[in-house]
A and B are shown apart, each in its own frame.
Chain A
Amino acid sequence: MNTQIKHYIDLITVLTQKEMKVRYKSTFFGYVWSVAHPLAFAFVFFMAVKVVMRIQMEGYAVFLIAGLFPWQWFSNSVNASPMVFFLNASLIKKVSLPRNVLPLATVLQDMIHFLLAIPVIVLFLFIYHKSPSFSWLYGIPLLLIIQLLMTYGLSLIISSLNLFIRDLERLTGIGTSLLFYFTPIIYPETMIPERYKTLVLYANPLSPLMVSWRNLFLNGTLEFSLVAASFVYSLFALMLGYAVYTRLSWKFAEVL
């Protein structure tokens, strides 16, 4: 039993390392790209929302980045999930390894890139005369675990189901971009009209988490109700993902 867990950890480590190494192999700028992508996004929204539509808000740039970076982790992992098992078809058909490590490695890899991008958030905080706070020490690990569970759960659902219903990979792309605009990332939750506020904040599983990240980064605060809601959602996603995976995983080798 013990060796099994050890091997599981070895597998996750080596697969995540592989993803990390492969991602920017043979590129000149390497790590810069994992920051450049969300920054470019931030620039686009800054132009559209701040410069053109003139949102009334102090420090919109750092506000954007504090929400966009964790979102990028989520959406990169989820958008990659439909193909995870297809890309490893030869392994799934021949080797009896716990297949659930494959999506986990993808999620972990995106998580590490998110962690590596946090210094950029700090840099922007300094530009706007703010600074990191001590609550990050427990806040970041807490939200990290919540988002890891939620993203992994969702990835498990999508990657497993997509082997049987290929339409899902189209739906995933549409779904994540819709979800993006229904999540208070480019706008603050205070601007949502009162009658939709609870809906957007609590019916969308990503809202409480993304708002929590931003509050933590900008003000060093964590609101209990938001953190609790996102934790409940993440547990639910993980349980559902695991249930879907265990029901379908024995058929994986048949359909690939």
Chain B
Amino acid sequence: MREPIIVFDHVRKSYPLYHHITGGTKNLLFHLPSTLSAIRNSRYEALKDVSFEVKRGEALGIIGKNGAGKSTILGLIAGVLKPTEGRVVVKGRASALLELGAGFHPELTGRENIILNGIILGLAKAEVLKKLDEIIEFSGIEEFIDQPIRVYSSGMLARLGFSVVSHLDPDILLIDEILAVGDREFRKKCIKKMMKFKKRGVTIIFVSHSMPDVKRICDRVAWLDNHIIKMMGNTGDVVSGYSK
């Protein structure tokens, strides 16, 4: 029996709708009490009472329509969001695979961006420098590595980003829709790398709309619908339920 590495215990997450505050001064002044109570009460429910556990080394897929709360779950695991109610327990270091080019600076070279991104994602500077050559080689960006990344194609950016993350040493890897970009060869490489992570015992949380990818990577899948878990279980069962 493996221990759970991520526990969601009756988690509810709601966001206040902040745009009400910027509704204009006149409006605010004329209807002060009602506006204030509207601000207090108008909340957006991103997750309602979600509970699940992920065991160490497991690969969990999260599927569902846009706006169902998938990214909120990732945010809660990464520790950038706090639950409104309930408890989120994460044992270990969670690393997020960033969306294309996030945290990169367009004016810096590929090499400089690798160092920057590696440290931002939690590596020590010495570690990054030690792995630098390996990362560059994995990215397959050869003569462009000392060019500012604003001249890179989007595929090259994705490769650069993924090669940094794949050289991290996380306990939990969070992947949000990253495979949507990049050519087929790169996708294959990514999936292979993820399998390697999995073999090493890294827990993977994989958010995707691509059912073939989910089937290939995940042991279990949670189907989010309308801010609750509609179905959770075996990859095959949930995916076929979702595709119906």
A residues in contact (CB < 8 Å) with B: 3, 6-7, 10-11, 13-15, 18, 21-22, 25-26, 88, 90-97, 164-166, 250, 252-255
Task: Please determine whether B82 and A95 come into contact, CB atoms closer than 8 angstroms.
Answer: no
- Chain B residues with CB under 8 Å of A166's CB are 22
B residues in contact (CB < 8 Å) with A: 15-16, 18, 21-22, 74-75, 78-82, 94, 96, 98-99, 102-103, 105, 107-108, 112, 115-116, 119-122, 124-125, 148, 174, 176
Point out the residue from B81, B103, B108, B112 that lies within 8 Å of A90, measured CB to CB: B103
Closest A residue to B18 by beta carbon equals A255
Whole-angstrom CA separation of A10 from B103 in the bound complex: 16
Task: Please determine whether B80 and A94 come into contact, CB atoms closer than 8 angstroms.
Answer: yes
Task: Please determine whether A95 and B119 come into contact, CB atoms closer than 8 angstroms.
Answer: no
9 more CB-based (< 8 A) A-B contacts, given A22-B107, A94-B96, A96-B78: A14-B115, A93-B80, A94-B174, A95-B103, A95-B121, A166-B22, A253-B75, A254-B16, A255-B18
Task: Please determine whether A95 and B80 come into contact, CB atoms closer than 8 angstroms.
Answer: yes
Whole-angstrom CA separation of A47 from B120 in the bound complex: 47
- Chain A residues with CB under 8 Å of B78's CB are 94-96
- Chain B residues with CB under 8 Å of A3's CB are 124
The 7 closest A-B pairs by CB, nearest first: A90-B102, A96-B79, A253-B80, A10-B125, A94-B96, A25-B107, A14-B119
Whole-angstrom CA separation of A166 from B99 in the bound complex: 26
- Chain B residues with CB under 8 Å of A7's CB are 119, 122, 124
Task: Please determine whether B121 and A21 come into contact, CB atoms closer than 8 angstroms.
Answer: no
Closest B residue to A6 by beta carbon equals B124
Closest A residue to B96 by beta carbon equals A94
Q: Report the minimal beta-carbon distance from B61 to chain A, rounded to whole angstroms.
A: 19
Task: Please determine whether B125 and A14 come into contact, CB atoms closer than 8 angstroms.
Answer: yes
Task: Please determine whether B108 and A21 come into contact, CB atoms closer than 8 angstroms.
Answer: yes
Given contacts A91-B120, A253-B75, contact A21 B103 (CB under 8 A): no
Closest B residue to A94 by beta carbon equals B96
Q: Report the minimal beta-carbon distance from B5 to chain A, rounded to whole angstroms.
A: 16
Task: Please determine whether B119 and A25 come into contact, CB atoms closer than 8 angstroms.
Answer: no
Whole-angstrom CA separation of A26 from B98 in the bound complex: 27
Task: Please determine whether B22 and A18 come into contact, CB atoms closer than 8 angstroms.
Answer: no
Task: Please determine whether A250 and B82 come into contact, CB atoms closer than 8 angstroms.
Answer: yes
Task: Please determine whether B108 and A18 come into contact, CB atoms closer than 8 angstroms.
Answer: yes
Q: List 13 A-B contacts (CB under 8 A).
A: A10-B119, A14-B119, A18-B105, A21-B107, A21-B108, A91-B102, A91-B103, A93-B80, A94-B75, A95-B103, A96-B79, A97-B120, A252-B80
Task: Please determine whether A14 and B103 come into contact, CB atoms closer than 8 angstroms.
Answer: no
Whole-angstrom CA separation of A180 from B48 in the bound complex: 51
- Chain A residues with CB under 8 Å of B94's CB are 96
Q: Report the minimal beta-carbon distance from A189 to chain B, rounded to whole angstroms.
A: 38
- Chain A residues with CB under 8 Å of B75's CB are 93-94, 253
Task: Please determine whether A21 and B124 come into contact, CB atoms closer than 8 angstroms.
Answer: no
- Chain B residues with CB under 8 Å of A255's CB are 18
Whole-angstrom CA separation of A10 from B124 in the bound complex: 7
Task: Please determine whether A95 and B120 come into contact, CB atoms closer than 8 angstroms.
Answer: yes
Task: Please determine whether A164 and B125 come into contact, CB atoms closer than 8 angstroms.
Answer: no
- Chain A residues with CB under 8 Å of B105's CB are 18, 22
Whole-angstrom CA separation of A21 from B115 in the bound complex: 13
Q: Which of B75, B96, B119 has the most CB of A within 10 A?
A: B119
- Chain A residues with CB under 8 Å of B115's CB are 14
- Chain A residues with CB under 8 Å of B174's CB are 94
Point out the residue from B21, B80, B99, B120 that lies within 8 Å of A164, measured CB to CB: B21
